[in-house]
A = this chain, B = another copy of it.
Amino acid sequence: MKAGILGYGNLGRGVEAAIERCEDIELAAVYTRRDPSGLSIVSKNAKVKSAADLEDGREDIDVLVICGGSATDLPVMTPKYAQWYNVVDSFDTHANIPVHFADVDAAAKKGGRIGLISCGWDPGMFSLNRLYAKAILPGGHDYTFWGKGVSQGHSDAIRRIEGVKDARQYTIPVEEAVERVRKGETPDFTTREKHTRECFVVLEDGADAAKVENEIKTMPNYFADYDTTVHFITDDEMKRDHSGLPHGGSVIYSGETGIKGSRHVIEYSLKLDSNPEFTGAVLTAYARAIVRLNNEGVTGGKTVFDIAPAYLSPVSGEELRAHYL
């Protein structure tokens, strides 16, 4: 099958890297909203084209992976392209998922395509594990811990502070909280009890470190409710020690069965060297799935909840049953 990627930031490059490792998927083109002649990509055989070429469904691709931002890009792009192509996105603004889903569902149904939204690891694989666990053990408690990993949103928030040249923020789960949940306890945690935040900041020349530190620690929503540590480092240290985008976390579900209340703990955890490359790999597996489903006549808006696992794998049903079950 032939895939296209729209947008060539970290996530777009992650999808490209994932497709390189799939024998059954060929990257046809990377589409950009900028001037295509200014963009060079890793894949040798794929083209770089203008996003304008996608209009009216003219492109010969089976699926388009849309790698834009959730705030302003995806609410417009995903419904637009879903009328012409099978599309996958990683929309993660939780409060707006119902509206985004409705828009994509309508467009995809109109065009006879599938639009799968909110794919990746959270939302995505973590969501799946919350669903499976709760379906098996109704009435239990689920806990999601993120990290240790780089939060792009929090890093960006620090960069917007006056006097900050660069910043990297790590979200770190509180190990004691994780251990309590792993043991089957079901506490009500405050925000502060679940995660801490560690920030590495490069200052502009002459900036006031104490003032920046205070602005970070008191920033509402982002940092005020957490125990936050701030380290000031040099440009070189930032490049040397913080150039990766590792992430991960765990969904831990604790529930009971039986009259005596036998306790069961289900844990799904990820340790990722590269958040965008892993997210890209998940998007790619679901891109495969929706092409196959669309070939069977399925259309409309979908999420990871709607896709039977077998569709993600290039392996046949016989082989899956013989070797994976």
Contact = CB atoms under 8 A, between A and B. Distances in A.
Interface string A126-160: 01111110111111000000000000000000000
A94 interface: yes
A129 to B, nearest CB: 8
A45 interface: no
Q: What 9 A-B pairs are tightest by C-beta distance, nearest first?
A: A262-B273, A135-B312, A262-B274, A257-B277, A305-B310, A17-B258, A265-B271, A135-B313, A135-B285
Interface string A241-271: 0000000000000000111001111111111
A324 interface: yes
A89 to B, nearest CB: 13
Interface residues of A, number: 70
A8 interface: no
A207 interface: no
Most chain B C-beta atoms within 10 Å of own C-beta, residue among A101, A271, A317, A322? A271
Given A131-B320, A324-B131, A258 B274 contact: yes
**For chain A, what secondary structure do more than half of its interface residues adopt (helix, strand, loop), or is it mixed?**
helix
Interface of A: 14, 17-18, 20-22, 42, 94, 97-98, 101, 118, 123, 125, 127-132, 134-139, 182, 184, 257-259, 262-274, 277-278, 280-282, 284-285, 288, 303-310, 312-314, 317-318, 320-322, 324-325
A271 to B, nearest CB: 4
Nearest to A267: B269
Most chain B C-beta atoms within 10 Å of own C-beta, residue among A20, A136, A322? A136
Contact of A313 (B18, B134, B307, B309): B134
Contacts of A97: 321-322, 325
